[in-house]
A and B are shown apart, each in its own frame.
Chain A
Amino acid sequence: MALVTPGFRGRRRGSSERLPPGQYLVEDFPVLSAGPTPDVRLEEWRFTIRSETGSDHSWSWAGLLALPAETPVVDIHCVTKWSKLDTRWSGVSIDTLMAEVETGAEFALVQCYGGYTTNLPLADLLDGRAWIVYRYDGTDLPAEHGGPARLLVPHLYFWKSAKWVRGIQLLPKDEPGFWESLGYHDYGDPWREQRYAGD
């Protein structure tokens, strides 16, 4: 039984079975990042998957856009407590990219322009659960939301959906990313409220 704060009633707006514990609904799309928004030129943009043996698979911007696109409509959940339902994206499934990659690795370290990283089990990037997305709500992905392209892994807290993504390093062992080294949870399942290390 949680402790009651006398006089607090709350607004109870937007309750939903699609809302994980401790989250509240927003209609806008807040921005959170640890440093300046990087300028990424499309002519220089590359996305590279490096396997645990060091072999690279790499796509240019045109190469990414030439791959079959999917249009996921998903709920997203930020560790800072906001959730947003039915967000609409366009991009390429990680399954499509990984089809070309030979690996026995179990973990992935996602790398970004600007230096941000985040880690997750490779299994969480597969089976139609993760994408490299380049459009949001019918327009090119704005830079402050991770454009030109970001990772989208909506079943985990949104810090795992790394902005300005440039590659995935496949690893035999788990290696913590940026926030995972600074007190946030290694896995980050919103339905188990895994916000901080030890949750």
Chain B
Amino acid sequence: MLEINTNIEKPYTPTPPLGGRGGVIETIDLTKCFGNFTAVDHISFSVEKGEIFGFLGANGAGKTTAMRMLCGLSKPTAGQGFVAGYDIARQPEQVKKNIGYMSQKFSLYEDLTVKENMRLFAGIYGVKENLILPKIDETLSKLGLTAEANTLVKKLPLGWKQKLSFSVAIFHEPQIVFLDEPTGGVDPITRRQFWKMIYEAAERGITVFVTTHYMDEAEYCRRVSIMVDGRIDALDTPANLRAQFHAENMDEVFTKLARKATRIES
């Protein structure tokens, strides 16, 4: 298990009832169908401001589809969702102003340098020109990437790419950042650094919505939801979930739930 400075973690306070208007992310029966296939099946949950929310599920459970809907990339088939107070179906562009997104597949420009990518996205999000350069320098030194500022992104190793993606996603200080399997295929040291960055972002008040397959990482989230076949089967703090499922760790919780899945892995 990774070691994280746990004193950053805030004491847990119960969230308002599901479907309430208190959270920075709210969904009510959010559903997405592709033809006859229901990828996301009436999910309702709420995420509080500043929370690190783990969004778990086996491959093909519908995590990415749900996340894409919350980011305004995909239109819901039914149900409602509010992100930063905006309706994801009716005001997707307003939602986009307030979020950062790091997709599962690396999607920064490989043929631009580290610095150029940061500058491009800062510019798109409307960060003021005179603030961009100092902030890039600051971010790069924090990432330890100052020497690679003018390196083409395609030449970076995967772990560095992921850290860069995350920095770009939070560069404009969004209210919420969505991370889709940010540590997939990354070495343990980089993963630890990555989670440190996530904690720092949460410290600054950025809500973190993260999917992962690493159950040790699930322990670092304040609350986790576990999706099975498009539905949310469990949602609570890791400690409560362990107690509820009489499990020693999240791994066991996950296995108990995921075993029920009938959907073929896609």
Asked if A pairs with B, the answer is no
